[in-house]
Structures are given as structure tokens and as C-alpha cells.
Structure 1
Amino acid sequence: MTKARELFELLAGAEELTVVCHNNPDPDCLASTLALGRIAAEAGIDERQILYGGSISHQQNRAFINLLDMELELFTPDSLGERDAGSLLAFVDHSLPGVNNELPEGTPVDIVIDHHSVDDVEGRFVDHREDIGATATILAEYVRELDVTVEETLATGLLFAIRRETLGFLRGATTAEYDAAGALHNHADRDLLRTLSTPSVSGATIDAISDSIDNRIVRGSVLLSHVGRTDERDALPQAADYLATLEGVETAVVFGIVEDAIELSARTTDSRIHIGNALKEAFDDVGSAGGHREMGGGEIPLGIFAGYRTDDERFVDIVENVVIDRLADSLKLSPSGD
């Protein structure tokens, strides 16, 4: 039995589906969630809910949810309630309870569909493909095989997610992404794709990106920078994407203090570096970090800086020094950048 058929059989035997997005869900997670919901509906599940943690602050992500008319609820300790045999719990675009999501560690998950580099993935149904460029590619494959109706909203969401996750097929794209995009192309709404691709940008995001430019440190082909304190968490990947395009830069890591944690976003085109592994090596003992060869991210609780007040004028400098030292060790950078 194929993975698509195996998933459908599991869904067909259930009455309720809850999909838990990872914290601060992006288009790949959101489109995959939308597609899983459509498959569940085809399997006869009428009770479906989507939960998320963190925030949805990126302009593109907010536009995605609004334009595709998705209904999401913020995760709370009471969100799951009493689960029975007819209730399924699913992860898409992430894999482990308690890692980049609000579920307590060890919570049993029924369905896991992901493409990130992680170990020890468990579930009644697991499709974990690290060699695929986007989770949306896997769901697009399911939709095709199961002959689920591909209306404009679903096709547009999946196609946009694949394009966004692979930076227009330039980062981590495989033949599977091209095949999926080809199948979705004629069903997608071109105007909606254009709108999703060009959302308005807030002044706070521009300020954060500007700060990352001012604070950059370049060692060889590696650029490290920070934005200080920001409420614009999603400015970090936007800053990393921009700084990675600077002449001579092959690897860019941008971090900032967001609420009670240090958030990181990284990009690389250097074939010698697996940026997800580098971030994991640098911060796995103090937080959650990882990702793919070409892109990664992480979150470090501020608790590792015990003894310093978050309103201390020196605090940002302390964070900068500690984070850059760890990154320099992990990326094997010399002080001069040689």
C-alpha cells in the first residue's frame, strides 16, 4: 500500500482530526495543513481543527491565511481535550512533540508528515522525507494519487508553499518539487499567487532588516548579525534571505531577542556547510535548533543568561557575544575570518 493510501485508510476510520502546526507557522506548514484537511474531508471526517503556537506575524503568512480563508485557533493547555479512538492528532512540517510546538514532550501523535532533519520520529502514520524540498510537495503527491479535487485555493496554496520553501526552486528543490508544481500550475489562481508573493512590509520589519545590515560581522564568506530586540520575529528570515545575497557572502545567520527567547535564522549556499547541523551543534544543549543543509533556525530561552536582567543596557551585547562565539566555534571560524 502506498503512503497516500495508508494515510487515507487511517483517516477513513476516524471521526475527528486535529492538526497542530509548528510555532509561528509558515506557508509550507499552512498549505500542508490545508491539503491534509481536504484529504480528511474526502475520507469522511467532518470535525477538523487547526491549532498553532507562537504568533503569525510575517506579512506573507497573515496574507496566506486570510486569502485562503483558513481558520486557526491558538493552542492552549485545554485545546486537545479528551481524546478517544476516533480522534486523530497530526503534525505537518514538524515531527517531535515539545520541539517547536506547544504539545508536551512525549504526547502520542498519530500522523507525522515532514521533511526536516530530525531523529526518532514516531506515529501511527509517518512519512518523513529529508530529501524532499517541501512538506507541501508530499501533500501535493497525496492529493494527486487520491484524486482529491484540486480547486483553486488548494492548488494556489500548495504551489505558493513549494515556491516559497525552495526560494523559487533555487534552494533544496528536487524533481519532486517540479513535478508537483507542474501538476498544480493549471489549477492555481495566478492573481492570488502574485498577491501572496508581494505582501506589504511593515516599518518595524524594515527597521529590523536595517539593524541587521548595520550590525553585520563578516568572517570570510560567513556573515553573522543581529537585530537586537524586536517584536517582528519574522523579520529574521527576511533579513537572512537579504544578507545572504550580499557579494562574497555564502552563509548568513541573523538572530534577535524576541520576547523571552533568542530567535535565529540562517541561510547558506556553501556546499561545505550543513547549516541545520551547525546550528544544532551550536545550541542544542541550551535550546532548540536545526534545519536543512541550506536553511535553518533555532530558539534559545533567555534562561541561559541567568544573572542578567533583560532590561540591562549591556544585555544585547552579552547575547551578541555569546551567540557569535558559539556560531564561530560551530562554523569553525577564525577571528580574522581566514
Structure 2
Amino acid sequence: MSQAEQLQDLLEEGSELNIVCHNNPDPDCLASALALGRIAAAVGIDERQILYSGDISHQQNRAFVNLLDIDLKPFEPGSVQDRQPDSLLAFVDHSVPSENNTVPPDTAVDIVIDHHPAEGIDARFVDHREELGAAATILTEYVRALDVELDTDLATALLFAIRSDTLDFLRGATHGEYEAAGHLHEYADQEMLRQLSTPSVSGGTLDAISTAIDNRKVTQAVLISHVGRTGERDALPQAVDYLVRLEGVQTAIVFGLVDDAIHVSARSPDARVNVGTVLHEAFDDVGSGGGHHDVAGGEIPLGIFADYTSDDVQLLDIVEETITARLVSELNLSDEKEK
């Protein structure tokens, strides 16, 4: 029995499906959730919800939700703990309760479909393929195998998700992504794809990128910078995507204060550096960090730092010193820096 058929059999046991996205969901997570919902509808599940925590703040993610009219609801932790036996819980594009989600630890999960490195995955159905560039690739495979109707919106969502997560097939793309994209292309709305690819950029995002440029420090082909405090969480990955292109830089890491946490985003085309491992080892004792060898992120609650001072400038100095020191130590960098 194929994985698609195993998933179908499990869904047929349920009367309700709760699809939980990871925090601050991106197009890959949202498109995968949309596709899983369509598969569930095809087997007769009428009660379906796509749930998320955090914010959809990246302008591209907001455009994705609005243009495709995706129905999202805020996640409430109690809703998955008290559910009925025939109410199924699914994770897409993430895999473990309490890691990059607000699902309570030890919550029983029915379905996990993911491509990110992870350990300790426990669910009734697991399709975990780290070698793939996008979770949407897996969902496209299921839609095709189960003959689920592929309308324009779903095809557009899945195709854009694959393009987005692979940087237009320049990062982590495999034969699976190319095959899925080839199938989706004839069904997708090309004009909507263009709109999704060129969303407007907020002033706050530009300010954060500018700050990261000004604060950059380069040591041995590793660039470390910060955006200060920002309300634009998704400005960090945009800043690091820009800075990793700087001549002579092979690894870029950008961090910043967002609300009551320190967020970190990293990129590295250097095969000698696994930024997922770097962030995990640097921050696992105080927060969370991880991802792929070339793309990773992390989050560290401010904790006692938030109460240490009411002076934001002093707080930023403390955060910069602490986070930079951990990264320098983990990357075995010397103290010599160059602009």
C-alpha cells in the first residue's frame, strides 16, 4: 500500500480534521494544509480547520492568504487536548508538538507530513522526507495518486509553495520538485503567480534590512548582524537572504528583537557549514534553533533579559553581545572582524 493510500485509509476513520500549521506559517505550510484539507474533503470529512499561531506578517505570506482566500483560524491549545476520538490532528511542514508550534508537549498527533530535519516524530501516519525541498512536493504527489480534483487555486498554491521554498529551484530542489512543478504548471494561474512573486514591501521591512546592513560584521566569510527591535518578524529572513549575497560571504546570520523574543535567521551555501546544527547547538539550552544545512532559524525567549532593564538601547547591547558570542563560539571564529 502506498503512503497516499495509507493516509487515505486513516482519514476515512475521522469525522473532523484539525490541520495545525507551524508558527508564522509560510506558503509551503499553508499550501500543504490546503491540499491536505482537499484530500480530507474527498474522503468525506466535512469538518476541517486550518489552525495557526503567531503572525502572518511577511508581505508575501499575507498576499498568499488573501489572493487564495485561505480560511485560517487561530490555534487554541485546549482544542486539541479535549478532542473526540474521531477528530484527527495533523501537522504539515513541521513535526513535533511544542517545536515551532504552540501545541502542548506529548499531545497525540495523527498525521505528520514534513521535510525538515527532526527527531522524535511520533504519529499514526508519518511521511518525513528530509531530502525534499518542500512539503508541498509530498502533497502534490498525494493529490495526483488519489485523483483529487486539482483546481486553479490549489495548483497555484502548491506550485508557488515549491518555488518559494526552493528559491525558484535554486535551493534544495530535487527531481521531485521539478516533477511536481511540471504537473502543476498547466493548472496554475500564471498571473496570480506573478502577483505572489512581487508583493509590496513595508517601510518597516526596509528599515530592518537597512539596519542589518549597517550592523554587519564579517569574520572568515561569516556575516553576523542584527536588525535591532522590529515589529516585522519576517524582515529577518529577507535581510539574511540579501546579505548572504555579499561578496566574500558564505554564511550569514541575522537576529533581532520581536516582541518578547529574540529571533534568528541563517543562510549558508557553504557545504562545510550546517546552519541548522549551528543554531541548534548555540541556542538549544535557552530556546530553540534548527533547520536545514543551508537554511535555518531560531527563537530565544527574552526571559530575564526583558526584566533586566527598561532601557531598550541597553537591552539591545546585552542581546547583541550574548547572541554574537554564542554564534562566534559555535562557529569557531576568531575575534578579527572586517566590514
- Specify the alignment match of 1:54 in structure 2: 54
How far is 1:83 from its partner? 1.3
- Specify the alignment match of 1:7 in structure 2: 7
Q: Which moved more, 1:67-76 or 1:234-243?
A: 67-76
In structure 1, C-alpha distance between the alignment counterparts of 2:313 and 2:195, rounded to whole Å: 41
Q: Does 1:252 align with 2:242?
A: no
Asked if structure 1 preserves the Cα contact closer than 8 Å seen for 2:217 and 2:337, the reply is: no
- Specify the alignment match of 2:225 in structure 1: 225
**5+ unaligned residues in a row in structure 2: which ranges?**
none
In structure 2, C-alpha distance between the alignment counterparts of 1:178 and 1:221, rounded to whole Å: 32
In structure 2, C-alpha distance between the alignment counterparts of 1:77 and 1:13, rounded to whole Å: 23
Asked if structure 2 preserves the Cα contact closer than 8 Å seen for 1:275 and 1:296, the reply is: yes
In structure 1, C-alpha distance between the alignment counterparts of 2:311 and 2:317, rounded to whole Å: 12
In structure 2, C-alpha distance between the alignment counterparts of 1:254 and 1:9, rounded to whole Å: 44
How far is 1:333 from its partner? 1.1
Q: Which moved more, 1:306-315 or 1:59-68?
A: 306-315
Three-state SS of the structure 2 residue aligned to 1:84 is coil
How far is 1:82 from its partner? 3.1
- Specify the alignment match of 1:70 in structure 2: 70
In structure 2, C-alpha distance between the alignment counterparts of 1:21 and 1:211, rounded to whole Å: 30
How far is 1:77 from its partner? 3.6
Q: 1:170 to 1:314 in 2, by over 3 A?
A: same
Which one-letter code corresponds to 1:110 in the other structure? D
- Specify the alignment match of 2:169 in structure 1: 169
- Specify the alignment match of 1:153 in structure 2: 153
Query: Which aligned pairs between 1:125-136 and structure 2 lie closer than 5 A?
Result: 125-136=125-136
Percent of aligned pairs with the same amino acid: 64
In structure 2, C-alpha distance between the alignment counterparts of 1:311 and 1:260, rounded to whole Å: 14
Query: Which aligned pairs between 1:232-247 and structure 2 lie closer than 5 A?
Result: 232-247=232-247
In structure 1, C-alpha distance between the alignment counterparts of 2:90 and 2:310, rounded to whole Å: 36
Three-state SS of the structure 1 residue aligned to 2:79 is coil
How far is 1:247 from its partner? 1.1
Which one-letter code corresponds to 2:320 in the other structure? E
How far is 1:313 from its partner? 2.8
How far is 1:312 from its partner? 4.3
In structure 1, C-alpha distance between the alignment counterparts of 2:189 and 2:135, rounded to whole Å: 21
TM-score, normalised to structure 1, is: 0.97
Asked if structure 1 preserves the Cα contact closer than 8 Å seen for 2:32 and 2:158, the reply is: yes
- Provide the aligned C-alpha RMSD in A: 1.3
Q: 1:270 to 1:12 in 2, by over 3 A?
A: same
Query: Which aligned pairs between 1:72-87 and structure 2 lie closer than 5 A?
Result: 72-80=72-80, 82-87=82-87
How far is 1:314 from its partner? 1.1
In structure 1, C-alpha distance between the alignment counterparts of 2:304 and 2:276, rounded to whole Å: 21
In structure 1, C-alpha distance between the alignment counterparts of 2:19 and 2:282, rounded to whole Å: 31
Which one-letter code corresponds to 2:311 in the other structure? D
Which one-letter code corresponds to 1:333 in the other structure? L
Asked if structure 1 preserves the Cα contact closer than 8 Å seen for 2:266 and 2:295, the reply is: yes
Which one-letter code corresponds to 1:161 in the other structure? A
Query: Which aligned pairs between 1:199-214 and structure 2 lie closer than 5 A?
Result: 199-214=199-214
- Specify the alignment match of 1:319 in structure 2: 319
In structure 1, C-alpha distance between the alignment counterparts of 2:107 and 2:173, rounded to whole Å: 32
In structure 2, C-alpha distance between the alignment counterparts of 1:123 and 1:68, rounded to whole Å: 30
Q: Does 1:103 align with 2:107?
A: no
How far is 1:246 from its partner? 1.1
Asked if structure 2 preserves the Cα contact closer than 8 Å seen for 1:286 and 1:304, the reply is: no
In structure 1, C-alpha distance between the alignment counterparts of 2:235 and 2:313, rounded to whole Å: 23
In structure 1, C-alpha distance between the alignment counterparts of 2:213 and 2:190, rounded to whole Å: 34
TM-score, normalised to structure 2, is: 0.97
In structure 2, C-alpha distance between the alignment counterparts of 1:317 and 1:62, rounded to whole Å: 32
In structure 1, C-alpha distance between the alignment counterparts of 2:98 and 2:13, rounded to whole Å: 27
Three-state SS of the structure 1 residue aligned to 2:313 is coil
- Specify the alignment match of 1:281 in structure 2: 281
Q: Does 1:181 align with 2:181?
A: yes
In structure 2, C-alpha distance between the alignment counterparts of 1:159 and 1:275, rounded to whole Å: 27
**5+ unaligned residues in a row in structure 1: which ranges?**
none
Q: 1:154 to 1:87 in 2, by over 3 A?
A: same
In structure 1, C-alpha distance between the alignment counterparts of 2:17 and 2:314, rounded to whole Å: 48
Three-state SS of the structure 1 residue aligned to 2:228 is strand
